[in-house]
Amino acid sequence: MTTDITVAVVAKECLPGRVKTRLTPALTPEGAARVAAASLADTLATVRALPAARRLLFFDGTALPEGAEGFDVLHQTAGGLDERLGALFDAVDGPTLLVGMDTPQFSAADVGPVFDDPSRDAWFGPAEDGGFWSLYLREPDGAHLRGVPMSQEDTGAIQFARLTGAGLGVGTLGVLLDVDTVSDAERVAALAPDSEFAEALRTETVGSLR
């Protein structure tokens, strides 16, 4: 049954030297970009299967990725990540679930609590590195994100405190691993061995050894 939820995927165009730069030099910049593209493809496929009313690609780039069919596209604004995410939550109407492109292992079950209880003010998905991989707001408001320092070990804790400090009732989703390093990529591939991401990583790893 479809629920009145917009699911937004935050993504950037997978160009060599712009994405997954910490996978180099183990992979070439081109190989890292292909692995990133596979990660995004897995994410979009999972989102397509969710019982959402609307699917949105919050995109930084020009050439849309494969698998974006059926997604509305909103191009990212300038500024830091907190400002861009704030702009996203100001631009949408109604309950909105945000997911990133760096957790290709994420499944419908991981966000099942959101769809089971969309009346909760917020749902927060913490990442192993101290950030967050998902955020749901029943009443979107970019002020909940602006000013939160991103890409730090305490980003998630600060964001969670921002939500609760605003008086929101916040539910917590499971902790997932973001893909940043080669070690992260190998762990995620083991968690989702049949994913496009895992296949791309195997291909690029084998190629780098030749």
The arithmetic mean of pLDDT across residues 173-178, rounded, is 97
Work out the pLDDT band at 209, boundaries 50, 70, 90. very low
What is the pLDDT, as a whole number, of residue 205? 83
Q: What is the pTM of this model?
A: 0.94
Q: Is the pLDDT of residue 210 over 80?
A: no
Helical spans, DSSP H, in 49-195: 81-91, 112-116, 155-165, 182-191
Write out the DSSP string of 131-144.
SEEEEEESS--GGG
Whether residue 25 has a cis bond before it, omega within 30° of 0: yes
- 3-class DSSP assignment, residue 35: helix
List, in sequence order, every residue forming a beta bridge with 3; answer none if it has no partner: 52
Helical spans, DSSP H, in the chain: 29-48, 81-91, 112-116, 155-165, 182-191, 196-208
Enumerate residues 6+ apart whose C-beta is below 8 A from 43.
9, 11, 99, 100, 101, 103, 104, 106
The arithmetic mean of pLDDT across residues 117-132, rounded, is 96
